[in-house]
Chain A
Amino acid sequence: MAIYLAKRLAASAVTALLASLVVFLLVRSVPGDVVGQMLGQTSDPVAAKALREFFGLDQPIWRQYFGWLARVLTADFGTSWTRGQPVLGMIGAALAVTIQLAFATLFLATLIGVPLGILAAMHEGGAIDRTVQALNLLGLAAPVFWIGLMLLVGVSSGFDWSPPLMYVPPTQSLFENLSIMALPVLSLALLQAAAYSQFVRQSIISALGQDYVRTAIAKGVSTRVIFFKHLLRNIAIPLVTFMGLILIQILGGAVIIESLFALPGLGRLLLSSIETRDYPVLQAGLLAVVVIAMLVNLAVDLSYRIIDPRVRLS
Chain B
Amino acid sequence: MSKSGMPKSMLGRLSTAAARLRRQPDLAFGLVLLALVLLVVLFPGLFTAHSPLAINVDKAMEAPSSAHPFGTDDVGRDVLARVVHGARITLSICASALFAAAAIGGALGLVSGFIGGRIDMLLGRLIDVLLSFPPIIFGVMVTGILGPNTINLVLALTVVYVPLFFRIARSGAMAEASLTYVEAARSIGMSEPLVLFRHVARNVVPVILVQCMVLFPLMLQIQSALGFLGLGVQPPTPDWGAILQQGKDYILLAPWMSAFPGLAILVTALALMLVGRGLQRQMDRR
- Chain B residues with Cβ below 8 Å from A153 are 251-252, 255, 258-259
13 A-B residue pairs with CB within 8 Å: A19-B129, A26-B141, A140-B217, A142-B269, A143-B265, A146-B262, A153-B259, A249-B134, A251-B134, A267-B137, A274-B140, A286-B133, A286-B141
Q: What B residues does A252 contact at CB under 8 A?
A: 134-137
Q: Would B266 and A256 count as touching, CB distance under 8 A?
A: no
With a CB–CB cut-off of 8 A, which chain B residues contact A286? 133, 137, 141
For residue B126, CB closer than 8 A to chain A, the reply is: yes
A141 at the interface (CB under 8 A from B): yes
Residues of A within 8 A of B274 (CB): 137
Given A143-B224, A146-B265: A22 touches B129 (CB 8 Å cut-off): yes
Chain A residues with Cβ under 8 A from B140's Cβ? 255, 270-271, 274
Q: Tell whether, in the assembled complex, residue B132 and residue A141 are in contact, meaning their CB atoms are under 8 Å apart.
A: no
Inter-chain contact A30/B145, CB cutoff 8 Å: yes
Question: A131 to chain B: closest CB distance in Å?
Answer: 14
B80 at the interface (CB under 8 A from A): no
B133 touches A141 (CB 8 A): no
Contact bitstring A249-276, B, C-beta under 8 A = 1, else 0: 1011101100110000001001100110
Contact B262 A18 (CB under 8 A): no
Q: Report Cα–Cα, A252/B270, bound state, in Å.
A: 21
Whether A248 sits at the interface, judged by CB under 8 Å, is yes
Nearest Cβ on chain B to A104's Cβ, whole angstroms? 18
CB pair A146 B129 closer than 8 Å: no
Bound Cα distance from A255 to B129, whole angstroms: 20
Q: Mark B211-252, 1 if CB is under 8 A from A, else 0.
A: 000000100010011001100000000000000100110011
Which residue numbers of B lie inside 8 Å of A, CB to CB? 125-126, 128-130, 132-137, 140-142, 144-145, 147, 217, 221, 224-225, 228-229, 244, 247-248, 251-252, 255, 258-259, 262, 265-267, 269-270, 273-274
CB–CB A290/B270 < 8 A: no
Contacts of B225 in A (CB 8 A): 143-145, 256
Using a CB-CB cutoff of 8 Å, which residues 108-148 of chain A contact chain B?
137-138, 140-146
**Chain A residues proximal to chain B, CB less than 8 Å:** 15, 18-19, 22, 26, 29-31, 137-138, 140-146, 149-150, 152-153, 156, 162, 248-249, 251-253, 255-256, 259-260, 267, 270-271, 274-275, 286, 289-290, 293-294
Residues of chain A within 8 A of B129, CB atoms compared: 15, 18-19, 22, 290
Complex contacts, A255 vs chain B, CB 8 Å:
134, 136-137, 140, 229
Beta-carbon nearest neighbor of B241 in chain A: A143
Report the minimum CB–CB distance from A102 to chain B (whole Å): 11
Chain A nearest CB from B241 CB (Å) reads: 8
How far does the Cβ of B235 sit from chain A's closest Cβ, in whole Å?
17
- Please determine whether B262 and A137 come into contact, CB atoms closer than 8 angstroms: no
On chain B, the residues within 8 Å of A143 by CB distance are 221, 224-225, 228, 244, 262, 265-266, 269
CB-CB under 8 A from B273, the residues of chain A are 137, 140-141
- Which of B137, B147, B228, B255 has the most CB atoms of chain A within a 10 A radius of its CB? B137
A145 to B136 alpha-carbon distance, docked (Å):
13
Asked whether A19 lies within 8 Å of B145 as measured between CB atoms, the reply is no
CA distance A38 to B264 in the complex (A): 41
Given A138-B266, A138-B270, residue A26 in contact with residue B145 (CB < 8 A) = yes
A293 neighbours in B (Cβ, 8 Å): 132-134
When distances are taken between beta carbons in the complex, the residues of chain A under 8 Å from B130 are 22
- The answer to whether A260 and B125 touch across the interface, beta carbons within 8 angstroms, is no
Kindly provide the distance from the CB of A158 to the nearest chain B CB, expressed in whole angstroms. 12
Q: Which residues of A contact B224 (CB under 8 A)?
A: 143
Q: Which residues of A contact B141 (CB under 8 A)?
A: 26, 274, 286
Within the complex, the shortest CB–CB distance from B132 to chain A, in Å, comes to 5
Q: Which residues of B contact A144 (CB under 8 A)?
A: 221, 225
Interface contacts beyond A15-B132, A141-B273, A255-B137: sample of 10 additional A-B pairs, CB < 8 Å, sorted by A = A31-B147, A141-B267, A141-B269, A145-B225, A146-B262, A149-B244, A150-B258, A150-B259, A260-B228, A289-B137
Q: Is the CB of A18 within 8 A of B251?
A: no
Report yes or no: A290 in contact with B132, Cβ–Cβ below 8 A: yes
Give the 7 A-B residue pairs with the shortest CB-CB distance, closest first: A252-B134, A146-B262, A141-B269, A274-B144, A252-B136, A141-B270, A153-B255
Cα–Cα distance between A236 and B255 once the two chains are bound (Å): 42
Nearest residue (CB) in A for B136 is A252
Residue from A149, A270, A294 within 8 A of B137 (CB atoms): A270
What residues of chain A lie closer than 8 Å to B125, measured between beta carbons? 15, 18
Nearest A residue to B143 via CB reads A274
- Chain B contacts for A290, CB-based, 8 A: 129, 132-133
How many Å lie between the Cα of A46 and that of B267 in the bound state? 56
B residues less than 8 Å from A275 (CB atoms): 144
Q: How far is the CA of A255 from the CA of B126 in the complex (A)?
A: 24
Residue on B with the closest CB to A146? B262
Query: Which residue of A18, A152, A294 contacts B252 across the interface (Cβ within 8 Å)?
Result: A152
Contact B262 A142 (CB under 8 A): yes
Q: How far is the CB of B71 from chain A (nearest CB, A)?
A: 13
